[in-house]
Structure 1
Amino acid sequence: MTDVDHLALDPPRPAAPAAAAAPGRRPHIAVFLAPALLVYTAVMIVPLADTLRLALYTRLDGVPRFVGLDNFRTLFGDPRWSGHFWPALINNLLFFAIHMLLQNPIGLGLAALLSLPRLRFGAAYRTAFFLPAMLSFVIVGFTWKLILSPIWGVAPSLLGAVGLKGLFHPWLGQESSALVTLALISVWQFVGIPMMLIYAALLGIPDELLEAAELDGITGLAQFLKIKLPLIWPTIGIVSILTFVNNFNAFDLIYTVEGALAGPNYSTDILGTFLFRTFFGNQLQLGDPNMGATVATVMFGIILVGVGAYLFGVQRRLNRYAL
């Protein structure tokens, strides 16, 4: 057998690349990550650590004094602070519940309609529904404040045009309806975000799977409930946790419409506005950075617990279900 025959039977093996030698020898990764890590540390980690530190101190005669968890006991138990903290927390839970029960289901329904292959002017509809989410809180707040004004607003005239003027009330000026009205305004503004996320997930479903379902006679609503909905549950979970985080960080819309006092009579007060008044003060109280940091730490703890429960509870079940 010749050398050529040996080469044909045993082709030469390519040499192992030297770059795959040791996984730890990749300094370029650190170079690429360093700028983002430095910015994130300066903007997020350092302020968060300093907030946690401030929550453990108070100031006596201008001198910082370590008090441990006393600020938290004061926040939860002292009527001067707890009288505003607990109602603000309850209002925040209600604010979040309205978004979960209205914004996300409406976004899901709109995404399902927009994903229909025979829908005409789909791009125009997507733009119209998503456009409010691109507007400033100040623009949205003042616009709806003008619309719902009982003096110069257009809402009474519009209801009167269809014979329903008797249903109009100063919703933003009544304690019983102000918070719900602001939550509905927020739902109107941000319904486009869950719509687009779920819409993208629906477009990512393989066509072969849907065609197989059609061959089995599963079409229309049955196809959405039995095929599409189970496949987009992870996206719905992400939308839910984003809604939770955003609602417990909410501040701008209520501050724009009702001010720092979150009127009428603190009926629209949530944790964000309570934190603002506590930290920076207002016309009725002086600012207290240490108590403000305590409120911010409690808000961080609530968000951390919620996100952790989702990641270690719901997300794991969704992953097992997807597999």
Structure 2
Amino acid sequence: MASGRPVRWHIAVFLAPAVAVYTALMIIPLFGTLAQSLFNVDGTGQRVFVGLQNFARLFGEALWSRQFWNALGNNAWFFVIHMLVQNPVGVALAALLSSPKLRMAAFYRTAIFIPTILSFVIVGFVWKLILNPNWGIAKGLMGLVGLDGFFVPWLGKEDYALTTLALVSVWQFVGIPMMLIYAALLSIPDEVLEAAEMDGISGWSQFWKIKLPLILPSIGIISILTFVGNFNAFDLIYVTQGALAGPDFSTDILGTFLYRTFFGFQLQLGDPYMGSAIAGAMFGIILIGVSAYLFGIQTRLRRYQF
């Protein structure tokens, strides 16, 4: 009897609970939401199949499309702020903290990472107090360095509110890219670094020429995680600005738009069918972004991996 490769049943056994929970909490609701987006109610209140009509209303009717494109544009800006500020700062912090000459590096890593484990409610409430123009400490702190003339009620100004909240989110989550890049830097073989030092490449020159190309796959992973997280964002905006995402919807993103539509808010009645269409559009946007990364970028970065 020919001996074949043993069947590793233990892998399926260990994965089964996680797969079952993920399927029940994520996969089934996802397909249920996508299916619901294809239905609506008629004049008699009966549920009827309408195909892509809800999506046509979302993208074509002024009542819906104006809100959708506003929320999508705000979401894109929210993501750009994270890409331009959070991830470069996280890479820079990781490079600094990975230096063997830095003392108390463990303390700094812990201090920077702590905000990531805080609740959105706590973060939003505390920053609302800090930035409050009446009793917040931001104006006083700026006055200590002679910058009180530049203080404005950032959360109350349409031109500043979204950028301010994006920077608050950066402050909370910069520890995640920092730790991921820090781990990637530690995984670089010592032989590579020693060879670079023998060639006279050290310090920041070594980081730019040797380390940065080797951690590009990790930076790519962080970028796509940032994309998915930002286009699923909801909590911070809701806590600080409410479901109406004021002032005048200037901080409205897809998450808050979905919440108002699906569950209703104040005088707006909930519409689960249009809400499902918005959720389907969000899923499509995220799917396109992730697919573009997996098939267009990750294959190019793979050559840097060991």
Indicate whether 1:88 and 2:59 are aligned.
no
Q: Distance in 1 between matches of 2:291 and 2:41?
A: 33
Match of 2:154 in 1: 171
Indicate whether 1:70 and 2:53 are aligned.
yes
Kindly indicate whether the alpha-carbon contact (under 8 Å) linking 2:97 and 2:109 is maintained by their aligned counterparts in 1. Answer: yes
Task: List aligned pairs for 1:150-169, cutoff 5 A.
Answer: 150-169=133-152
**Alpha-carbon distance change, 21 to 62 in structure 1, aligned in 2, over 3 angstroms:** farther
Q: Distance in 1 between matches of 2:11 and 2:301?
A: 32
Kindly indicate whether the alpha-carbon contact (under 8 Å) linking 2:139 and 2:151 is maintained by their aligned counterparts in 1. Answer: yes
Between 186-195 and 313-322, the greater mean CA deviation after superposition: 313-322
**Alpha-carbon distance change, 29 to 127 in structure 1, aligned in 2, over 3 angstroms:** closer
Task: List aligned pairs for 1:38-53, cutoff 5 A.
Answer: 38-53=20-35
Q: Distance in 2 between matches of 1:113 and 1:218?
A: 17
- The residue type equivalent to 1:237 in the other structure is G
Task: List aligned pairs for 1:51-130, cutoff 5 A.
Answer: 51-60=33-42, 61-130=44-113
Q: Distance in 2 between matches of 1:112 and 1:25?
A: 44
**Alpha-carbon distance change, 270 to 223 in structure 1, aligned in 2, over 3 angstroms:** same
Q: Distance in 1 between matches of 2:185 and 2:47?
A: 55
Q: Distance in 2 between matches of 1:173 and 1:239?
A: 31
- The residue type equivalent to 1:36 in the other structure is A
Q: TM-score, normalised by structure 1?
A: 0.92
Kindly indicate whether the alpha-carbon contact (under 8 Å) linking 2:185 and 2:211 is maintained by their aligned counterparts in 1. Answer: yes
**Alpha-carbon distance change, 296 to 24 in structure 1, aligned in 2, over 3 angstroms:** farther
- The residue type equivalent to 2:14 in the other structure is F
- Post-superposition shift, 1:62? 3.0
Q: Based on CA coordinates, which of the two structures has the bigger radius of gyration?
A: 1
Indicate whether 1:37 and 2:19 are aligned.
yes
**Alpha-carbon distance change, 296 to 182 in structure 1, aligned in 2, over 3 angstroms:** same
Q: Distance in 2 between matches of 1:189 and 1:296?
A: 26
Kindly indicate whether the alpha-carbon contact (under 8 Å) linking 2:217 and 2:304 is maintained by their aligned counterparts in 1. Answer: no
The superposition leaves residues 102-143 of structure 1 with CA deviations (integer Å, 9 ceiling, x where unpaired) of 000000000000000110000110011111111110010010
- The residue type equivalent to 1:51 in the other structure is T
Between 219-228 and 59-68, the greater mean CA deviation after superposition: 59-68
Indicate whether 1:181 and 2:164 are aligned.
yes
Q: Distance in 2 between matches of 1:184 and 1:26?
A: 47
Between 144-153 and 56-65, the greater mean CA deviation after superposition: 56-65
- Post-superposition shift, 1:306? 0.5
- Post-superposition shift, 1:25? 4.1
User: How big is the alpha-carbon RMSD for the aligned residues of Structure 1 and Structure 2?
Assistant: 1.4
Q: Distance in 2 between matches of 1:123 and 1:234?
A: 25
Structure 2 residue runs without a partner (length 5+): none
- Post-superposition shift, 1:321? 4.2
Indicate whether 1:142 and 2:142 are aligned.
no
Task: List aligned pairs for 1:1-323, cutoff 5 A.
Answer: 21-23=3-5, 25-60=7-42, 61-322=44-305
- Post-superposition shift, 1:160? 1.6
- The residue type equivalent to 2:110 in the other structure is T
Q: Distance in 1 between matches of 2:99 and 2:114?
A: 21
Identity of aligned residues (%): 68
- The residue type equivalent to 2:222 in the other structure is V
**Alpha-carbon distance change, 314 to 151 in structure 1, aligned in 2, over 3 angstroms:** same
- Post-superposition shift, 1:322? 3.6
- Post-superposition shift, 1:40? 1.4
Q: Distance in 2 between matches of 1:136 and 1:259?
A: 16
Q: Count the aligned residue pairs.
A: 305
- Post-superposition shift, 1:33? 2.6
Kindly indicate whether the alpha-carbon contact (under 8 Å) linking 2:231 and 2:254 is maintained by their aligned counterparts in 1. Answer: yes
Between 158-167 and 90-99, the greater mean CA deviation after superposition: 158-167
Secondary structure of the corresponding residue to residue 151 of structure 1: coil
Q: Distance in 1 between matches of 2:9 and 2:206?
A: 50
Match of 1:3 in 2: none
Q: TM-score, normalised by structure 2?
A: 0.97
Kindly indicate whether the alpha-carbon contact (under 8 Å) linking 2:74 and 2:252 is maintained by their aligned counterparts in 1. Answer: yes
Q: Distance in 1 between matches of 2:93 and 2:111?
A: 12
Q: Distance in 2 between matches of 1:31 and 1:140?
A: 40
Q: Distance in 2 between matches of 1:278 and 1:24?
A: 53
- The residue type equivalent to 2:12 in the other structure is A
Match of 1:12 in 2: none
Q: Distance in 1 between matches of 2:106 and 2:177?
A: 16
